[in-house]
Amino acid sequence: MEKSHSTEEKAYSTEKKAYSTEELARRSGVEASYIDQLHELGVLRRKGDAPGSFSATDVRRVSIVRSLEEGGLPLSRIGEGIRTGWLSLR
C-alpha cells in the first residue's frame, strides 16, 4: 500500500521550488520589472546560474520590502542596508 502525502508535506516540498522572474512577480503581486529592480539592488539573489531562479522564500522577501517601502523607506536605502549588512530579510 502506498502512503499518501499530507497537505503539509506537499506545501513543504514546494518551498524548494525555483521560480522565474515572472512567476515570482505573479506570486508577489508585483510587476516583473520590480523583481528585476530588487535583484539589481541586491535585495533578491538568484539561486544557481539559471536566470530568474528565485526561491519560494523570495515571495516573503518581496512582501517585506513592499511593507518597508510603504512605510517610507526608499528602495535604494533598503538595497544599501542589505548590501552593507545593517538590514537582513532572513
What is the full per-residue pLDDT of the chain (90 aa) written as tens digits? 544 544 444 444 445 678 999 999 999 999 999 999 999 999 998 887 676 689 889 999 999 999 999 999 999 999 999 989 999 887
Give the pLDDT confidence score for residue 16 in this predicted structure: 66
Residue 33 within a domain: yes
Residue 2 within a domain: no
CA distances from 74 to 7, 27, 38, 40, 55 (A): 38, 23, 12, 15, 24
Residue 11 within a domain: no
Can you give the pTM of this predicted structure? 0.75
With a CB cutoff of 8 Å and minimum separation 6, the contacts of 48 are 18
With a CB cutoff of 8 Å and minimum separation 6, the contacts of 6 are none
Residue 8 within a domain: no
Give the pLDDT confidence score for residue 9 in this predicted structure: 46
Residue 9 within a domain: no
Torsion, CA 45, CA 49, CA 53, CA 59, rounded to 10? -10
Give the pLDDT confidence score for residue 8 in this predicted structure: 46
Domain count, the chain: 1
- What is the domain extent for residue 51? 17-84
Q: CATH number, domain at 39?
A: 1.10.1660.10
* C-beta atoms surrounding 46 within 10 Å: 15
